[in-house]
Structure 1
Amino acid sequence: MYASRYALFGARARRLRVAAGLTQAELGAAVHVVSTRITQIERASGAKPTLELARALDAVLGADDLLVELWPYVYREAFPDWSRKFMAYSERAVVIRQYAAHVVPGLLQTEAYARTVLSVGRTLDGRQQLEERVVARMGRQTRLGAADRPELWVVLDEAVLRRPVGGPAVMREQLERLLDTATESHLTVQVLPFDQGEHDVMGGSLTLLTMPDDSEAAYTEGAHYGQLIEETGEVRSFALTYDRLRAAALPPLMSLDMIRSVMEDSHRGANVPSRSERRRLAQEQLQQSGGGRLRGGGRRVPRRRPRP
């Protein structure tokens, strides 16, 4: 019995390396890492391997994708128990429908945005776990470019666009990523504007997964919890709720226009000085040019000439 999935991955890698007649140094050279990195992997110590490294090891060792298939299980260990089953389901889903109340869904996050989102929360246990979660999240996105990629439909609450996660630069890059979905036929993004008012999923986020056998599951998530629902009646109820949200949201083209507008407004806002800053700059310019000071309303007060 192995202590963790990482330990199982390391044991499999070592067994394959020995069967191939390679030393750790030879295997490291073949996959372009130092031999100590191979030692760490086989002992399940240090940073976990990236998906790219798992693929390289598979290719060199002729493992027929064994290590690649183990890789997702290794990285799920970095996430809370309640999210692991959902991740396993989503990796097989053929259709994914999501409503996001607070942040951009993981499958559409940029790395900088993901790092910011994953760096907060009570379930995080140190920097190494943060890095593992970021690598895992970015690794999951590779499926969007695969031959068996799912159909992804996302409804974003307007709050998702307006919350400056990570600061202006990070948020601008993230909004640009959302705009890129316009060129991807399997991705659809809608925005649910504030003026639609209250709805049934205000407290958290909702995901509906359609599996290859046409069965469905629902997943609800809050800040520190998540629940996978498989009971047919409950899933049907959540599907109806999602359809109502999708109907209330802006159409896809209008949604992209809104994302673009928010991005441009945020960019302008980040570069426009505040009112007090503008007054200070104006006052300095007037003083440098010999002009008068400004009244509160912005009018120039001429300097008094000395009496003769």
Structure 2
Amino acid sequence: MPEEQNLRAVFASELKSARELHPRGRMTQEELADELKVSRSTVSRLESPSGFIQPEIPPLLDQIFGTDGRFQELYEQIESRGFTAYSLERLKLERTATSIQEWSPTVVPGLFQTMDYAHALLRQGYPRATEAEVRARATARIDRQRLLGGVSSPNLSVVVCESVIRRRVGTPETMRAQLESLLAFTANPAVLLQVLPLDSGAHALMDGSLSILTASDRRVIAYTEGIQSGAIIEDSGAVGALSRFYHVVSATALGQAASARVIQKQLEAYPR
């Protein structure tokens, strides 16, 4: 069984044990749900080896059971599965960000990828990995998209190069489904998705991807990534310069409606 599945099973087992061996007497799922202010079915999912863990839950469990950060530690290990070390800090920031601005010159950003598209990319990036390992990495990437649902989801603005929608990744069916998914995002009022035309000329962000995240405490952090490297940038001057570069790219890109038309036209290259 892959390590990340073991960790999730450990989380589930330790939670059930902590509940049943509570010092003040066995706690039912209903009682724990009341403490957490969630539904009983949510507690049941938490005690399942494959259930989703909301990021605010582990520290609350540590408070309730006095487990000195054990559940938070397990959660962070589970969340880190399938990601390179240099991207983990960015992922932590992403989960609590109030605003995310993202530029991608080469591939569909992870928050917008379909499972098959993510799998096709990771298959190329990890040619010696087993199918189970690739699938686990793809699942971990898709799990990030849970933050886009709900009233507390961040404001999301994304600019992709036109080459992103033109470059086929995976089978024609995979690419069609990915383009259809992107098209749906252009109709989402909570998301701004733009396409930067190939003939728009040179700009300052051509060398790699960029994310600018506004944290809940109003800090603004930038994250840049290359092929085998990534960096968190917190210096206000550097972040300000990168933010300006992003806004120039966004201002040069097509608007939401025009971007949707470009995606729709490319979608016609993959008929059903």
Instruction: Judge same fold: TM > 0.5, yes or no.
Output: yes
Displacement after TM superposition at 1:73 (Å): 3.5
Q: Which structure 2 residues correspond to residues 120-269 of structure 1 after superposition, within 5 A?
A: 120-121=124-125, 125-264=129-268, 266-267=269-270
The CA distance in 2 between the partners of 1:228 and 1:205, in whole Å, is 12
Does residue 16 in structure 1 map to residue 20 in structure 2? no
The CA distance in 2 between the partners of 1:78 and 1:70, in whole Å, is 15
Aligned length: 239
The CA distance in 2 between the partners of 1:123 and 1:234, in whole Å, is 36
Look up the match of 1:35: none
Look up the match of 1:50: 50
Instruction: Report sequence identity in percent.
Output: 33
The CA distance in 2 between the partners of 1:256 and 1:147, in whole Å, is 25
The CA distance in 2 between the partners of 1:267 and 1:123, in whole Å, is 26
The CA distance in 2 between the partners of 1:231 and 1:6, in whole Å, is 37
Displacement after TM superposition at 1:121 (Å): 2.0
Note if contact 1:99-1:205 (Cα within 8 Å) is conserved in structure 2: yes
Query: In structure 2, do the counterparts of structure 1 residues 75 and 119 end up closer, same or farther at CA, with 3 Å as the change threshold?
Result: farther
1:194-238 deviation line (CA, Å, top 9, x unaligned): 111211111211111011121111111112211111111100000
Displacement after TM superposition at 1:129 (Å): 3.0
Secondary structure in structure 2 of the residue aligned to 1:91: helix
Query: In structure 2, do the counterparts of structure 1 residues 217 and 200 end up closer, same or farther at CA, with 3 Å as the change threshold?
Result: same
Note if contact 1:111-1:138 (Cα within 8 Å) is conserved in structure 2: yes
Q: Which structure 2 residues correspond to residues 49-68 of structure 1 after superposition, within 5 A?
A: 49-52=49-52, 54=53
Gaps of 5+ in 2: 22-28, 30-42, 65-69
Look up the match of 2:25: none
Query: In structure 2, do the counterparts of structure 1 residues 251 and 114 end up closer, same or farther at CA, with 3 Å as the change threshold?
Result: same
Displacement after TM superposition at 1:144 (Å): 0.5
Does residue 99 in structure 1 map to residue 98 in structure 2? no
Secondary structure in structure 2 of the residue aligned to 1:200: coil
Q: Which structure 2 residues correspond to residues 261-300 of structure 1 after superposition, within 5 A?
A: 261-264=265-268, 266-267=269-270
Larger radius of gyration: 1
The CA distance in 2 between the partners of 1:145 and 1:174, in whole Å, is 19
Displacement after TM superposition at 1:78 (Å): 2.3
- 175-184 vs 91-100, greater mean Cα deviation: 175-184
The CA distance in 2 between the partners of 1:179 and 1:68, in whole Å, is 37
Aligned with 2:113 (options 109, 114, 122): 109
Letter in 1 for 2:184: D
Secondary structure in structure 2 of the residue aligned to 1:224: coil
Displacement after TM superposition at 1:127 (Å): 3.4
Aligned residues: CA RMSD = 3.2
Note if contact 2:210-2:224 (Cα within 8 Å) is conserved in structure 1: yes
Displacement after TM superposition at 1:92 (Å): 1.0
Secondary structure in structure 2 of the residue aligned to 1:267: coil
What is the TM-score normalised by the length of structure 2?
A: 0.77
Note if contact 2:208-2:224 (Cα within 8 Å) is conserved in structure 1: yes
Look up the match of 2:67: none
Displacement after TM superposition at 1:70 (Å): 4.7
Secondary structure in structure 1 of the residue aligned to 2:170: coil
Does residue 83 in structure 1 map to residue 82 in structure 2? no
Secondary structure in structure 2 of the residue aligned to 1:103: coil
Query: In structure 2, do the counterparts of structure 1 residues 162 and 8 end up closer, same or farther at CA, with 3 Å as the change threshold?
Result: closer
The CA distance in 1 between the partners of 2:193 and 2:202, in whole Å, is 20
Note if contact 2:161-2:198 (Cα within 8 Å) is conserved in structure 1: yes
Query: In structure 2, do the counterparts of structure 1 residues 67 and 186 end up closer, same or farther at CA, with 3 Å as the change threshold?
Result: farther
Letter in 1 for 2:144: R
Query: In structure 2, do the counterparts of structure 1 residues 17 and 95 end up closer, same or farther at CA, with 3 Å as the change threshold?
Result: same
Query: In structure 2, do the counterparts of structure 1 residues 183 and 209 end up closer, same or farther at CA, with 3 Å as the change threshold?
Result: same
Letter in 1 for 2:15: L
